[in-house]
Structure formats: C-alpha cells, structure tokens
Chain A
Amino acid sequence: MSEIEEIVQGVLAGDRRSIAKAITVIENNPEKARRIIASIYPHTGKAHVIGVTGPGGSGKSTLIEKIIREYRRRGKTVGVVAVDPTSPFTGGAFLGDRIRMQELSVDEGVFIRSMATRNYLGGIARATKDAVKVLDASGRDVVIVETVGAGQSEVEIIKVAQTIVVVFAPGLGDEIQAIKAGVMEIGDIFVVNKADRENVDKSVMDIRAMLQLSNKEQAWTPPVLKTIALTGDGVAKLIEKIEEHRRFLEREAGREKAREKAETELVEAIKEKVASLMIEELEKEGEFESYLQKILRREIDPMSAAEKILKKKLGGC
C-alpha cells in the first residue's frame, strides 16, 4: 500500500495517527492532499460542522471546551480545528487554543488540531475545509472550527461551517463595531460570553439592535444567548440552539445551503486549477515575465492582459 492509501485507510477507520498525518499532508503537500481528499470525499458530509468565531479573548476556546463536554455527555464524538494567525513578519505562530481544552486531549472521542494560517496554496480557507473533511470522514459526529473573527479571510474560513456561532464578551463595543461588517451577516447564533461580568445585557441589546438593522427577511432568526464559559452556565442552552439550527437546516435551508457550498467549492477549484495551469504554460515560454514587464510599464492593465492570454491559449472564445 502506498503512503497515501495507508493514511486514507487509517482515516476511514478512525485511526488517530492517520488523521494527524492526513492533516499534516494537507498543510504541506497540495498534490498529495488532493489525492487524500479525492479518496475520502465519498465518506464526508455526515458530521455537523460548527464554526466558532469572534474577537480574541472573548472566550471561544473556553466555550468550545464546554461544548465538547456537553456533546460527549450526549455520546457524540468531536473533532476540533483551531486556527490561529501566522505572524507575517516571522512566519511563525503561537497556537494556544488547546490550553483551554487540554483535559480533553486524552479522551478517545475527541481530536483537537491546531492550524496556523500560513500562506497556503488555495488559502487557509481551503486547508481548513480539507482538515474538516478528514475529521468528518474519520467518523466524528461533530466538527468544531475556531477562528479569530477579524478580517475577510477569517470570514472565509468559518464559512466551512453549517452553523456559525459568533462569540462576544461584554464591553467589547468597539470590537463589535470593527468586525460586525463581516460577521453579523454570517452568524447563525450569537453569544455574549463572560456573563458573570457587567454590561452583559447591554451587549445583548446592542447585538440584537445590529441584527435588526440588517433586517433581511429570514427563515431563521439568530438568537442572542448569554454564557459563562468558565462555569458552563448557558452552554446546554447553546447546544439546544445549535441542534435546533441543525434540524432547521435539514428541514428547510439545508439542501440549498449545501448546493451553495458545493457551488462555491467548485468555482474555487476551477479558478485554482485554471490559474495554475495557465501560469505554468506562460512560464514555459517566459511569457509570464513579459506580461509582467508590460504591466509594470503601464502598457497594459492586468485584466486586459488576462483576457489576451486566455484568447491566445484557448483559441477564439
């Protein structure tokens, strides 16, 4: 058996070492990763994927630990992908989400993996999606993805999830302002964590008000909940809402959302394939460089250059 086949067999059998290796391959080797995903894809689509995002320090990791415990109590197995940013200056990363979940690391029913955003081919969103597929194919009932909700790329990452939970802490008014642009639209459930602190109710009201502003006609109205992740207060209620959302997806929006996701993935995949094919072709003849020079001399703009290239390579279409 080849190395890849061995990893695939292991993943499908739920072997933890194989799961870990598969994710490493996804992080390092796009070609082998593609082969792994191709083999496991028929076995995916069973897990419920939950995204947890929000400002750093709002308590996401602590809350996830409690969410895992609650699912374990219900007999479900859980996988976690915790994404933290790579430093743009050093290329290194400090991956600290696990600190809050370490007691669970020895539970056979839990698998936690930390990922840095790096500079992946196809983007971190793709790498995260593939890691989620590995956990899904390994038989996990629930897969949780944690990201810091800040920029557009994080919003892209978290879209891998079927149910998106946005976590705030009280008194983060400015941060809510800063990140609401992307996050308010994608959240299915909003949580104000650290409900043991002051100004919780004000934060809840602020979020409700903001949600009403974006007042689209929606079949699902995102609830705003309070939790104390440190003690687990409110977590059972949160799980109820997550489960309600899962049933809602199955009942109504599920097929449409799945279709949308598949469509985005196909479009992204085509873009990536076509782009790398074209660039490879152009580089053979040194044409890439010559277009680049023309653009730098302002003789042609990038979009027109791309059009010209396509016409030439694909013939008169």
Chain B
Amino acid sequence: MHGERKIRVLIAKPGLDSHDRGAKIVARALRDAGMEVIYTGLRQTPEQIVETALQEDVDVIGLSILSGAHNTLFPRIMELLKQKGLTDVLVVAGGIIPDEDVPELEKLGIKGFFGPGTPTDKIVQFIFENAPKRS
C-alpha cells in the first residue's frame, strides 16, 4: 500500500563542461527505470555535489565529466564524501575518462565507468545491481 523503497540518484556535472546532453539522457533513462533522479545542472563544485548528496540522502551519485578534470575533481569529491560520512553511497562515472585513469579512480572507491555511447540499459542494470541496500 505504501511507496516501496525507491533508489534515489544524484546526477551531477562537476567541472566546466558546457553541455549536459549526455547527463540528461542518463537522468531520463534512470527515471524511466523507476528511480528518483535529482538533477543539479552544469558546473557543480565538489562541495556542492557532496552537500547535495547529503541533503537529498541519495543512494547513488552519477558523475558526468567531459573536460578531463576528473583526476583532480573526483579525488576531492571522494574525500569530501568520506569526511561527511557518506561512505555507503555508490559512485559511478560517465563521460570521457581514459582507460589508463580508471584503476586510480577505482582505488578511490568509484565503481562503474560508462564512456560515451554506453547503452543506458547497461547503466540502469549496473545501478540496480550495485546500489546499497538500505532499510
């Protein structure tokens, strides 16, 4: 009778990218899969992203980045998440991230990487399988 537990996802765009078509397509796909998607628009600082994740109590953060600044922005985001105690949040990344950067980012705790052209189904499925199970 009452609403079942919904997966809440924050789709965030850190850095100075000037468009968010990809992020919006993913956001729509997640919504169509029954998730609640919080979208925050372009040019988010790590502080804004983490504070938003905290206030919205999301299960998942999807970071979308094209500008190449992931090696500086992602570590900062992961560090802030840890500081705020948001350690059980699943963090996935999309956009342009060279393969050679992935191992470092995985070490930080980022779990899924989805380059341009990834079918949205794949992202949806990954999130269903890896989102934290919370009461």
List residues of A whose CB falls within 8 A of some B CB. 16-17, 19-21, 23-24, 27-30, 86-87, 90-96, 98-99, 102-103, 105-106, 111-114, 116, 118-121
Q: Which residues of B contact A28 (CB under 8 A)?
A: 3, 5, 135
Closest Cβ of chain A to B101, distance in Å, is 27
How many A-B Cβ pairs are below 8 Å? 93
Inter-subunit contact A24/B57 (CB<8 Å): yes
Contact of B55 among A20, A27, A29, A93 (CB under 8 A): A20
| Chain A interface, >50% SS class | mixed
Inter-subunit contact A114/B6 (CB<8 Å): no
Closest Cβ of chain A to B81, distance in Å, is 12
Bound Cα distance A19, B34 (Å)? 25
Inter-subunit contact A91/B34 (CB<8 Å): yes
Q: How large is the interface on B (under 10, 10 to 19, 20 to 34, 35 or more residues)?
A: 20 to 34
Contact of B2 among A30, A86, A94 (CB under 8 A): A30
Contact of B31 among A93, A105, A111 (CB under 8 A): A93
Interface stretch of the complex, out of B35-43, B62-70, B112-120? B35-43
Closest Cβ of chain A to B50, distance in Å, is 9
Closest Cβ of chain A to B117, distance in Å, is 23
Inter-subunit contact A119/B37 (CB<8 Å): no
Contact of A113 among B31, B45, B55 (CB under 8 A): B55
CB 8 Å contact bits of B13-31 with A (1 = contact, 0 = none): 0000000000000011011
Query: Given A105-B48, A120-B2, are A23 and B37 neighbors across the interface (CB < 8 Å)?
Result: no
Inter-subunit contact B39/A94 (CB<8 Å): yes
Bound Cα distance A111, B51 (Å)? 9
Inter-subunit contact B54/A98 (CB<8 Å): no
Closest Cβ of chain B to A313, distance in Å, is 20
